[in-house]
Amino acid sequence: MLRYLNYIIGAAFAFVLLLALWGTASELISNPPEETAEEVFHLEPMALHLQSDGPFGTYDLRQVQRGFQVYKEVCSACHSLKQVAFRDLQKIGYSEAQVKAIAADWQIEQPGVNKDTGEAATRPNVPADRFPLPFANDVAARAANNNAIPPDLSLMAKAREGGPAYIHSLLVGYTDPKTYTHDGKALMKEFPDFSVPTGLHFNPYFANLNIAMPPPLTQEGQVQYQDGTRPTINQMAKDVSAFLMWAAEPNLTKRHATGVGVVLFLLIFIGLTFGAYRNVWRGIKH
């Protein structure tokens, strides 16, 4: 008797769940939720073509060096690169002497200890050091950035969907929401109550359209390239995106070369195996 009672209770519970599910589904069908500004006006990253794209891609070292210059002169004031060491810059074409000079001249020094007093101090960077953090701690980072902690950029090109294309689009995507249109729709006409909170900035490539980071690239010539390349905002954004792609995957070229070698080996091995098979079985009739 108790077993049948359990069946009845279970069936009643399942019926109530199905009834609730049906009610929710019916409500969504009859009264679908209104679209939000984020759903209508958020944009996917623009296409960005880099030399590192594809299975045979390699890094354009001149472009990566230009991107490092943009990071050094613009991005490093707020964003860390804590997974990269100064000596890694030799992989993008800098000499050992140049790397030593870059490390020694870096604006922020490494934390250390005064050997005479034992008190906290700083010391110049050396090539073996990783890039130092721009802020002493998260509290200082929030205080300087409208209560938002600037993310580390070491793996940003791999951590965000779209990779370097997302970074490039975000950097060039700042615009005025009052005049912004997409697919023939005006933001302020479709959503007249939309506003950008104080301290935030409108960017349709950011997930919720409002980002704490102000436009870092604001004018042509903000960085003076040493190789003579014209430093437009688009060019600087593209170059720093290429640099951050290298920072996230510095061994990409080697990995691609290894992959090509493995594929060629397998093709040769398959050919030799097939030839051996034909040689062993050629005199045997089926």
Q: What is the full per-residue pLDDT of the chain (286 aa) written as tens digits?
A: 666 677 777 777 787 788 777 766 666 566 666 778 888 899 999 999 999 998 889 999 999 999 999 999 999 999 999 999 999 999 999 999 999 999 999 999 888 777 777 777 888 999 999 999 999 899 999 988 888 899 999 999 999 999 999 999 999 999 999 999 999 999 999 999 999 999 899 999 999 999 999 999 999 999 999 899 999 999 999 999 999 999 999 998 888 888 888 889 999 999 999 888 888 887 776 5
Q: What is the DSSP letter of 277?
A: H
Alpha helix (H) residue ranges in 77-154 = 96-105, 138-144
pLDDT of residue 163: 94
pLDDT of residue 63: 97
Interatomic CA distance for residues 111 and 134, integer angstroms: 12
At 206, the amino acid letter reads F
Whether the model pTM is above 0.85: no
Rounded to 5, what percent of the chain is helix, strand, coil? Answer: 50, 5, 45
Say if CB 145 and CB 79 are below 8 A apart.
Answer: no
| Residues 36, 40, 42: CA angle, nearest 5 degrees | 105
Bridge partners for 27 per DSSP: none
Quick one: which of 123, 105, 104, 103 has its CA closest to 113? 123
pLDDT of residue 111: 84
pLDDT of residue 285: 62
**Residues near 90 by beta carbon (within 8 Å), at least 6 away in sequence:** 96, 99
In 114-196 the beta strands, taken as DSSP E runs, fall at 120-123, 181-182, 185-186
Burial (Cβ within 10 Å: 0-12, 13-18, ≥19) of residue 20: exposed
The backbone torsions φ and ψ at residue 249, rounded to the nearest 5 degrees and listed phi first, read -145, 75
Tokens of 112: 């250390």
In the chain, the domains with their CATH numbers are 37-84+149-254 (1.10.760.10)
Say if CB 110 and CB 84 are below 8 A apart.
Answer: no
